[in-house]
Amino acid sequence: MDAQKTALYKRISGSDGNRYKFYCELSGALACTTEPIRAETTEEELQIAWETVGKIHFNLCHKCGKWVIDAVYNADVWECVECAPYEAEPNYCKSCGIRIDKPFGKCPACGHKLVYEGEGSEA
């Protein structure tokens, strides 16, 4: 396993400091955005952002080393669903992570096509 130090991120520069947006490495979903952070170096800012805000929104896949959100993490085996797929697809949007309680063809939040437990194909 070759784990990254942080999840994928984007730094947003501002006059009051830099904000960091952290993204799921599997789905690409935005998991969190920090408040402005100031430090002597951008590396220090990133470390502060990750340790104080970002890390709590992610799980580390113990097989491939990707930082992923709960929606694409198989907690039974501590691996992402790419490395350890569920036997049946869970009721969530793979794109944005929102839980889907009623059958929809597309996610009501982001419009992504959905897959439901037992179907095995896109709805």
Mean pLDDT within 43-53: 96
| Per-residue model confidence (pLDDT) at position 86 | 74
Please tell me whether residues 74 and 123 are part of one structural domain. Answer: no
**What is the average pLDDT value for the chain, to the nearest integer?**
86
Name the pTM for this structure.
0.70
Please tell me whether residues 111 and 74 are part of one structural domain. Answer: no
| Per-residue model confidence (pLDDT) at position 118 | 43
Cα 93 to Cα 106: distance, rounded to the nearest angstrom: 9
Per the structure, the complete domain to which residue 101 belongs is given by 86-123
**Of 98 and 41, the one with more pLDDT:** 41
Please tell me whether residues 60 and 15 are part of one structural domain. Answer: yes
Based on the structure, what is the number of domains in the chain?
2
Cα 36 to Cα 110: distance, rounded to the nearest angstrom: 27
| Per-residue model confidence (pLDDT) at position 59 | 97
The helix (run of H) or strand (run of E) holding residue 32 is strand 30-33
